[in-house]
């Protein structure tokens, strides 16, 4: 509806110009609102700045858990592009016909790691079958992670711990957070001894260190799909969607530790 109103105003402006013979500056390119997983914050912020320097449009990113963003889009939030940290929430929107046909593609990959505060004396851990973080958590320490009920990083983490046989041991020792960046902050502050986050989150922080990496075969492949939102599928949105696949954007994603699909 908003897009239709915008088009109507544009046509009205052009009609008045033709009738009155008034000269006017070219219409500004519309903003593109990007709903993106919290783990892509640094990369998308930098890519948006590069795009704006090259194009005339303006990118407005909004970062949160993929589940939160998907539900907001489902409730009518005016996003143009959705970048999810897993395929589940893209499926959620696609089944509701809220994703523009043929606009979806797999963009990025990631990995799950175990982190500790930089000052922690914990030694590196080999993560494999039978692995348990209980000893490292201590008597009352908790494991920070995105809420495994809906946050992609937490979902992957739960599956990894289940596969390795340690979920039942730690499920009552969790500090579930609203998104993966919130889990990272909890470890940075030293409020918990361990956290489970994406490798890219650990890479951007100087306040944590990686003490273990989960094998990729103990959880589903971590894939970040991206698509245009059907109700707000504009030419400007498609242009930025294409830019996300460009060598310029891919170089930024790689810099922050993402794999390219």
Q: What is the CA radius of gyration of the chain?
A: 21
Looking at residue 29, its pLDDT comes to 54
Q: Mapping DSSP to helix (H, G, I), strand (E, B) and coil, where does residue 63 land?
A: strand
Average pLDDT score over residue span 115-135: 94
> Do 138 and 100 share a domain, yes or no?
no
Report the alpha-carbon distance of residue 74 to residue 69 in Å, rounded: 9
Task: Write the CA distances from 261 to 34, 97, 212, 223, integer angstroms.
Answer: 20, 24, 24, 8
Looking at residue 17, its pLDDT comes to 33
> Do 141 and 195 share a domain, yes or no?
yes
What sign has the CA pseudo-torsion 111, 115, 121, 125? Answer: negative
Average pLDDT score over residue span 4-29: 38
> Do 87 and 175 share a domain, yes or no?
no
Looking at residue 196, its pLDDT comes to 97
Looking at residue 24, its pLDDT comes to 32
Residues of the domain holding 256: 29-109+224-260
> Do 239 and 255 share a domain, yes or no?
yes
Is 34 in contact with 48 (CB distance < 8 Å)?
yes
Q: Is 53 left (phi over 0), alpha (psi -120 to 50) or beta?
A: alpha
**Banded model confidence at residue 116, pLDDT cuts 50, 70, 90:** very high
Q: Nearest 5°: CA angle at 40, between 35 and 41?
A: 80
The residue to which tokens 């909004």 are assigned: 62
Residue 243 within a domain: yes
Average pLDDT score over residue span 88-103: 97
Describe the strand order of the beta sheet including 81-83 as a list of residue ranges. 58-64, 31-37, 81-83, 223-228, 105-109, 259-260
**Banded model confidence at residue 30, pLDDT cuts 50, 70, 90:** low
Number of domains making up the chain: 2
Residue 96 within a domain: yes
> Do 47 and 97 share a domain, yes or no?
yes
Residue 95 within a domain: yes
CATH of the domain at 254: 3.40.190.10
What would the pLDDT profile of 187-230 be if each residue is shown by its tens digit? 999 999 999 999 999 999 999 999 999 999 999 999 999 999 99
Describe the strand order of the beta sheet including 208-213 as a list of residue ranges. 174-177, 143-146, 194-198, 112-117, 208-213
For residue 3, pLDDT over 50 is answered with no
Q: Which phi and psi angles does 224 have, rounded to 5°? A: -105, 100
> Do 125 and 97 share a domain, yes or no?
no
């Amino acid at each position: 509806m908003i897009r239709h109103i915008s088009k109507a105003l544009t046509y009205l402006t052009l009609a008045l110009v033709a009738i009155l013979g008034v000269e006017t500056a070219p219409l500004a390119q519309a903003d593109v609102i990007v709903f993106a997983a919290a783990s892509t914050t640094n990369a998308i912020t930098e890519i948006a700045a590069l795009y704006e320097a090259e194009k005339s449009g303006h990118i407005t990113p909004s970062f949160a858990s993929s589940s939160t963003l998907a539900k907001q889009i489902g409730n009518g939030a005016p996003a143009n592009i959705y970048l999810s940290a897993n395929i589940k929430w893209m499926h959620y929107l696609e089944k509701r016909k809220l994703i523009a046909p043929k606009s979806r593609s797999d963009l990025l990959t990631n990995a799950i790691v175990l982190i500790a505060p930089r000052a922690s004396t914990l030694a590196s851990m080999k993560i494999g079958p039978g692995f348990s973080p209980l000893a490292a958590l201590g008597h009352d320490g908790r494991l920070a992670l995105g809420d495994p009920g809906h946050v992609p990083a937490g979902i992957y983490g739960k599956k990894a711990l289940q596969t390795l046989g340690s979920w039942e041991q730690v499920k009552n020792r969790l500090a579930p957070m609203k998104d993966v960046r919130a889990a990272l902050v909890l470890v940075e502050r030293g409020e918990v001894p361990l956290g489970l986050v994406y490798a890219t989150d650990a890479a951007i922080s100087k306040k944590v260190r990686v003490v273990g990496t989960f094998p990729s075969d103990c959880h589903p492949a971590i894939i970040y799909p991206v698509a245009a939102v059907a109700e707000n599928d504009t030419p400007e949105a498609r242009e930025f969607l294409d830019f996300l696949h460009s060598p310029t954007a891919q170089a930024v994603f790689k810099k922050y530790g993402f794999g390219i699909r």
